[in-house]
């Protein structure tokens, strides 16, 4: 007769891959950053060599309000898995449910109205669980929906004044808007003022500030204007600025304003040049915003490192995706939208512990 093992007896214990940020453990009480941390039991600490250490279990809850697609990786599909893999609790409100993203030949599905969004939030509120450390939003097409999002953010900030709202102000790209024009004043007047971290591309940064970007100096001024509108952290995710590394790269910039206890502020500005890839990806902006949330959480006053990690993750996922897509499509053929879906689950290890493959320069 075979024995039944007692509950709790561990027969096999194989070591799991331990990410860089778990390799050192320190007493949370000794951590100087703990006082400024955003999450209830968060303890992130950097020693002098900038290896940060943290507790074994994070307790950080994100409310993400984005699209859901049955197949593929955009919106909440793009943001949830990577954040969960990194230990974040992700509550997700699906603003739409579509079969797939709208770059395919066909797409079908249903959208959530502003009222239905409110109803879902009410359920959370009635149960007294409307406490979040982060809110994350992206592509939206409806002004009343966006206004409801703002109401929710404001209420959540009252419930938790330390809440960080990460907002991708999706309006358009390459000189034209691809959402209804009437979203623009809502972003400008209502959304950005309550955002803490925003990830506009160059076009969106220009739209929001009314200022054109032709030089790095322009970009810095635009980011300062965006800071004045609300967010302390701004990343211009892509631009037309001439890269120093050549035309196979694109230039991204970031700016983080840190307010000291005495009321003075310092601003860290960075520039990072990112390899271009000859393909149209969908969902990369959503992944970027999610990973910037994660890495600014671990490096709250070090935008340089947060961006290096974030852009590196993007690079690994995109490389894996383009290799697979070319393999599937065959030589000399353009991969289809289906073949170009991000290789998200296959990139788990890179998401957990991205090798840094690009360096940001501090301006």
| Interface map 203-242 toward another protein (x if CB under 8 A) | ----------------------------------------
With binding defined as CB under 8 A, does residue 357 bind another protein? Answer: no
With binding defined as CB under 8 A, does residue 105 bind another protein? Answer: yes
Contact yes or no for 354/211 (Cβ under 8 A): no
- The first and second tokens of residue 252, run together, are 């991204």
Nearer to another protein, 129 or 245 (CB): 129
Specify the residue for token string 């250490």: 53
Angle, helices 202-209 vs 216-229, to 10°: value is: 60
With binding defined as CB under 8 A, does residue 2 bind another protein? Answer: yes
With binding defined as CB under 8 A, does residue 81 bind another protein? Answer: yes
With binding defined as CB under 8 A, does residue 111 bind another protein? Answer: no
Nearer to another protein, 16 or 176 (CB): 16
With binding defined as CB under 8 A, does residue 330 bind another protein? Answer: no
C-alpha 124/C-alpha 324 separation (Å) is: 40
Q: Is 116 helix (H, G, I), strand (E, B) or coil?
A: helix
Choosing from 98, 134, 139, 299, the residue that interacts with another protein (CB under 8 A) is 98
Point out the catalytic residue in the list 286, 302, 350, 353.
286
Minimum distance, C-beta of residue 195 to another protein, in the bound complex (Å): 21
Contact yes or no for 234/223 (Cβ under 8 A): yes
C-alpha 107/C-alpha 335 separation (Å) is: 18
With binding defined as CB under 8 A, does residue 57 bind another protein? Answer: yes
Alpha carbon dihedral 341, 75, 87, 60, in 10-degree steps, equals 170
Minimum distance, C-beta of residue 128 to another protein, in the bound complex (Å): 8
Choosing from 27, 50, 129, 162, the residue that interacts with another protein (CB under 8 A) is 129
Q: Is 1 helix (H, G, I), strand (E, B) or coil?
A: coil
Choosing from 50, 71, 212, 248, the residue that interacts with another protein (CB under 8 A) is 71
Minimum distance, C-beta of residue 345 to another protein, in the bound complex (Å): 5
Nearer to another protein, 237 or 339 (CB): 339
With binding defined as CB under 8 A, does residue 104 bind another protein? Answer: yes
With binding defined as CB under 8 A, does residue 91 bind another protein? Answer: yes
Strands 249-259 and 233-239: antiparallel
* Cβ contacts of 356 within 8 Å, gap of 6 or more: 308, 309, 312
Nearer to another protein, 2 or 260 (CB): 2
Nearer to another protein, 71 or 217 (CB): 71
286 is an active site residue: yes
Nearer to another protein, 68 or 227 (CB): 68
* Cβ contacts of 209 within 8 Å, gap of 6 or more: 222, 225, 226, 229
Contact yes or no for 343/317 (Cβ under 8 A): yes
C-alpha 283/C-alpha 279 separation (Å) is: 13
C-alpha 314/C-alpha 78 separation (Å) is: 12
Choosing from 35, 48, 49, 127, the residue that interacts with another protein (CB under 8 A) is 127
With binding defined as CB under 8 A, does residue 110 bind another protein? Answer: yes
With binding defined as CB under 8 A, does residue 334 bind another protein? Answer: no
Contact yes or no for 94/140 (Cβ under 8 A): no
Contact yes or no for 188/169 (Cβ under 8 A): no
* Residues taking part in catalysis: 286
Instruction: Return residues touching another protein (CB under 8 A).
Output: 1-5, 7-14, 16, 57, 63, 68, 70-71, 80-81, 84-85, 87-94, 97-100, 104-110, 112, 116, 119-124, 126-127, 129, 338, 344-346, 348
């Amino acid at each position: 007769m075979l024995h039944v093992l007692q509950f709790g007896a561990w027969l096999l214990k194989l070591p799991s891959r331990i990410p860089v940020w778990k390799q050192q453990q320190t007493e949370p009480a000794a951590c100087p950053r703990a006082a400024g941390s955003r999450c209830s039991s968060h303890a992130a600490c950097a020693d002098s060599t900038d290896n940060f250490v943290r507790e074994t279990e994070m307790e950080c809850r994100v409310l993400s309000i984005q699209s859901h697609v049955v197949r593929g990786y955009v919106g909440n599909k793009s943001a949830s898995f990577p954040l969960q893999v990194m230990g974040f609790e992700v509550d997700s409100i699906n603003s739409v449910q579509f079969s797939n993203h709208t770059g395919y030949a066909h797409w079908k599905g249903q959208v959530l109205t502003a009222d239905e969004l409110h109803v879902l939030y009410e359920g959370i509120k009635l149960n007294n669980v409307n406490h979040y450390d982060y809110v994350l939003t992206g592509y939206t097409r409806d002004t009343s929906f966006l206004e409801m999002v703002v109401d929710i953010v404001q209420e959540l900030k009252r419930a938790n004044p330390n809440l960080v709202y990460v907002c991708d102000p999706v309006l358009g790209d390459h000189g034209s808007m691809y959402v209804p024009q009437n979203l623009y004043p809502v972003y400008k007047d209502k959304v950005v003022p309550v955002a803490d971290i925003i990830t506009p591309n160059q076009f969106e940064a220009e739209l929001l500030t009314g200022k054109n970007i032709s030089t790095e100096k322009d970009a810095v001024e635009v980011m300062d204007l965006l800071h004045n509108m609300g967010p302390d952290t701004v990343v211009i995710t892509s631009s037309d600025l001439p890269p120093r590394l050549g035309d196979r790269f694109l230039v991204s910039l970031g700016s983080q304003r840190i307010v000291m206890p005495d009321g003075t502020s310092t601003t860290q500005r960075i520039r990072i040049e990112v390899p271009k890839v000859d393909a149209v990806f969908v969902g990369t902006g959503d992944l970027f915003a999610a990973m910037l949330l994660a890495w600014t959480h671990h490096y709250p006053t070090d935008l340089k490192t947060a961006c290096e990690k974030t852009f590196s993750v993007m690079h690994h996922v995109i490389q894996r995706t383009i290799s697979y897509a070319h393999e599937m499509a065959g030589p000399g053929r353009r991969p289809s939208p289906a073949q170009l879906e991000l290789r998200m689950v296959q990139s788990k290890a890179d998401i957990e512990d991205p090798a840094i493959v690009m360096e940001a320069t501090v301006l």
